[in-house]
Amino acid sequence: MAFKITLDNASGVPYYRQIVNQVIYGIVNGLLQPGTQLPTVRQLAVDLQVNLNTITKAYRELEIKGIVDTQQGTGTFISDKKIIINPSEKNKLLRSKCIYFIDEISSLGIDLNDAIEMFQKISAEREEYHVKKIRKK
């Protein structure tokens, strides 16, 4: 699965923070490996349709935390720093995502049990895909 940054207008979380969080979670989940080049500030600003300063602020924060290395004229790359998210932070994030999910499906008139069933089906499909991908290697 390719890594892609997306922004949620309704979350109430500033865009730069969403970018920082998504890069961190991409690393933790193995979607971003050390040495992976991030899009340029200009390219990401165009892709996300936000101000250049928003991307600059996110990249600067990631650099200060040692999560990325910026090489003048070459780009911004994921560093080899290990990132560990503590269990209470993971639980807090999971809870907020679940609340958002429940609110979204409820607003569409979808029964929670139907949504859970679909979630499990998709999860099984993705697991099967990853197993097949590993076997090909």
Give me the residue spans of the domains in the chain.
15-78, 87-136
One DSSP character per residue, 90-124 reads: HHHHHHHHHHHHHHHHHHTT--HHHHHHHHHHHHH
The pLDDT value recorded for residue 19 is: 97
The arithmetic mean of pLDDT across residues 76-95, rounded, is 88
The pTM score is 0.70
**DSSP single-letter state for residue 130:** H
Look up the CATH architecture of domain 15-78.
Answer: Orthogonal Bundle (1.10)
Nearest to 59 by CA among 78, 84, 32: 78
54 vs 11, more confident: 54
The pLDDT value recorded for residue 84 is: 83
The pLDDT value recorded for residue 78 is: 97
The pLDDT value recorded for residue 53 is: 97
The pLDDT value recorded for residue 127 is: 82
At residue 29, does pLDDT exceed 80?
A: yes
What's the mean per-residue pLDDT of the chain? Answer: 90
Question: How far apart are the C-alpha atoms of 81 and 62, rounded to whole Å?
Answer: 11
**41 to 4, 37, 44, 45, 75: CA distances (angstroms):** 14, 12, 5, 6, 9
If DSSP codes are grouped into helix, strand and coil, which group holds residue 54?
helix
At residue 59, does pLDDT exceed 70?
A: yes
| Residues comprising the chain, all counted | 137
Question: How far apart are the C-alpha atoms of 16 and 113, rounded to whole Å?
Answer: 35
Q: Using alpha carbons only, what angle is made at residue 134 by residues 68 and 91, rounded to the nearest 5 degrees?
A: 55
Please write the tens of the pLDDT for every residue from 63-76. Answer: 999 999 999 889 99
The pLDDT value recorded for residue 137 is: 60
Q: Which residue has the tokens 């269990």?
A: 87
At residue 9, does pLDDT exceed 70?
A: yes
At residue 81, does pLDDT exceed 80?
A: yes
